[in-house]
Amino acid sequence: MAGYPVWNQEAARSIIAGLAHLEGATLPILHALQDEFGHVDPQAVPLIAEALNLSRAEVHGAITFYHDFRTAPPPRRVIKLCRAEACQSLGCEAMVEELAETHGIVVDGEPAGDAVVETVYCLGNCALGPSALVDGELIGRVDAARIAGLCQQERAQS
């Protein structure tokens, strides 16, 4: 994953000001902040609330409601594991259990080193499931050992 700049309050204010005029600006602002910094720092909440005349609770609610927003910098490697029906029929749920029991990697849990494994529903690679998207690269026929190896590989490179 590409590195992101460190959170910068003035840059955040500039992003917020540039989008505050939009109707329903909360989500575009949150996306822009996350695109810029890799996450939506909690310090952004009062800035957004003030710019949009919202309560801090409303802004916080939007951040926590949508699962794609992060409030801390992302790990270097993001592995999105498909858990839709086709991949389930090809063993992804057993793989999730093996990841936890054998490798200590919890899907949708805390990062494993500097990698995180997240659930997604359908990557469009159903014939080659279970599938994963690793740092934007689609990989078919993954198994627990391969996912664990990808997490370990990142740890070794950190």
Q: Count CB atoms within 10 A of the CB of residue 12.
A: 21
Burial category of 36 from C-beta neighbours within 10 Å (exposed 0-12, middle 13-18, buried 19 and up)? middle
Residue among 63, 97, 102, 65 at smallest CA distance from 81: 97
> Under a CB-based contact definition with an 8 Å cutoff, are residues 15 and 45 in contact?
no
Domains and CATH numbers, the chain: 9-65 (no CATH), 77-157 (3.40.30.10)
Burial category of 83 from C-beta neighbours within 10 Å (exposed 0-12, middle 13-18, buried 19 and up)? buried
pLDDT (tens digit per residue) in 35-78? 999 999 999 999 999 999 999 999 999 999 998 898 988 888 88
Q: Does the pLDDT of residue 1 top 50, yes or no?
A: no
Q: Percent of the chain scored above 90 by pLDDT?
A: 73
For tokens 């992101």, name the residue. Answer: 4
**Omega of the bond leading into 130 within 30 degrees of 0 (cis):** yes
Q: Percent of the chain scored above 70 by pLDDT?
A: 96
The answer, as to whether pTM is greater than 0.75, is no
Residue 2 binned pLDDT confidence (cut-offs 50, 70, 90): low
